[in-house]
A = this chain, B = another copy of it.
Amino acid sequence: MPQFLLDNNHIAAAAAGGGAGAADETMTAKSRVTVVGSGNWGSVAAKLIASNTLKLNSFHDEVSMWVFEETLPTGEKLSQVINRTNENVKYLPGVKLGKNVVANPDLENAVKDANLLVFVTPHQFMEGICKRLVGKIRADAEAISLIKGMEVKREGPCMISTLITEQLGINCCVLMGANIANEIAVEKFSEATVGYRKNKEMAEKWVQLFNTSYFMVSPVQDVEGVELCGTLKNVVAIAAGLVDGLEMGNNTKAAIMRIGLREMMALSKLLFPSVKDSTFFESCGVADLITTCLGGRNRKCAEAFARNGGKRSFDELEAEMLQGQKLQGVSTAKEVYEVLNHRGWLELFPLFSTVHEICIARLPPIAIVNVKFK
């Protein structure tokens, strides 16, 4: 088809097939990917991406992965072990990442040549990382954030994609979905959603980069909707866990999940009128909600909380059950409550506000099913 001749990537691809020297000559036309982060999900993302850059001519084979350096109990550096064994022995043991994944402990060095930046760190590190990256990235760089659970400040949510765009002056998409990293690592079938703002071609490039036979990615033009799903679902997971702990059965649990999904939609649309209902039918919406309410630590701790009749605090259960990890749902519920209170919307969101009031022991766990839902 003639229009493809105008496509740089296509020309590069054609050229790359032309002989030994061709790859070097066309290198500048190929996209170079850096994954910023190397935890559990970051390592899986690197694996997905690395399998695609090898196959697709429009991407440079090598995938750079920034590693927050740690010294392992053996005395070795984590980045060195990853590069030697091709495995993130600490955060994704037993899974080969692909030989074209190169761990790099130097953040600035890891990003300097990349025009595709994949951010996948704990959300509290992003502000610091962005500050360090100002002026250190390529002018034509594009970003995608895989970071779930941005903060919700009193005035409204502080979107990670917005933080990246504002701090670094680059466009930023998001990728969210029902994505338990360890299941995708062993290539169990899953889906994800890429949310984009305007540039559909760019969204399709991200889809190309992530999509595999077992990881099916769809683009939707709704950054805020996609990103908010990833955060707000954790509040619903607390509610679902309470229902489990109260032994109310699947009926009640399904009802609470549905009401939670409705409140997720309603709040997202109040905060960002551009948010679309249809986004909540995507993997980032209903599917991620289901996964999180079936398994997941928010659900698990909330179940234990209800079983103890609310007599042991979430802080205490968290410390006991999560080995130092923090429960995102409890803090998000608090943040959401503050937004609702600040805007005078508490009565519009009985599930969200009741979850917070149960978390702080102002209401007993059973209150979750005694609310007058709209």
Contacts and interface: CB of A to CB of B under 8 A. Distances in A.
Contact of A278 (B178, B180, B277): B277
Contact of A261 (B184, B253, B281): B281
Interface in A254-270: 254-259, 261-262, 265
A303 to B, nearest CB: 15
A272 interface: no
A61 interface: no
Contacts of A249: 180, 183, 188
B286 A261 contact: yes
Taking chain A's interface residues, is the majority helix, strand, or loop, or is none over half, making it mixed?
Answer: helix
B278 A369 contact: no
A184 B251 CA distance: 8
B254 A290 contact: yes
A288 interface: yes
Contact of A183 (B189, B252, B281, B291): B252
Interface in A154-189: 178-180, 183-184, 188-189
Contacts of A214: 369
Nearest to A371: B189
A281 B269 CA distance: 15
A190 interface: yes
Interface of A: 178-180, 183-184, 188-191, 214, 216, 248-259, 261-262, 265, 277-278, 280-283, 286-288, 290-291, 294-295, 369-370, 373
7 nearest A-B residue pairs (beta carbon): A258-B287, A189-B369, A254-B290, A254-B287, A178-B254, A254-B291, A183-B251
